Amino acid sequence: VNINRLHILKKFSGYMQEIDEKYPDLNVSDKLSHYREALEKAYQVFKESTPQEQKLFKVFKEKPKNVVTLTEISSD
């Protein structure tokens, strides 16, 4: 968990936004209950996958510079 805590919190933040948009009129108690479930869900995601697979941060989304992948090489 310590290694992935920023990734978990980033995923949780996305889930919180979804909850806020989907249920804008929830009372505080119900909203906190949904948030708790969202945090557990975010934690579970990173128990079963890696930050590289989830690609939440810009560094994982960007293509490395000055690198040619095998799929870009053709034999004409």
Reported as a single tens digit per residue, the pLDDT across 3-50 is: 678 878 888 999 999 999 999 999 999 999 999 999 999 888 877 776
By residue range, what is the domain housing residue 10?
5-72
Whole-model pTM: value is 0.64
Q: What is the pLDDT of residue 66?
A: 75
pLDDT band at 51 (very low <50, low <70, confident <90, very high): low
Q: What is the pLDDT of residue 27?
A: 96
Instruction: Tell me how many domains the chain contains.
Output: 1
Q: For 23-56, give one letter per residue: b (16+ CB within 10 A) or e.
A: eeeeeeeebeebeeebbeebeebbeeeebeebeb
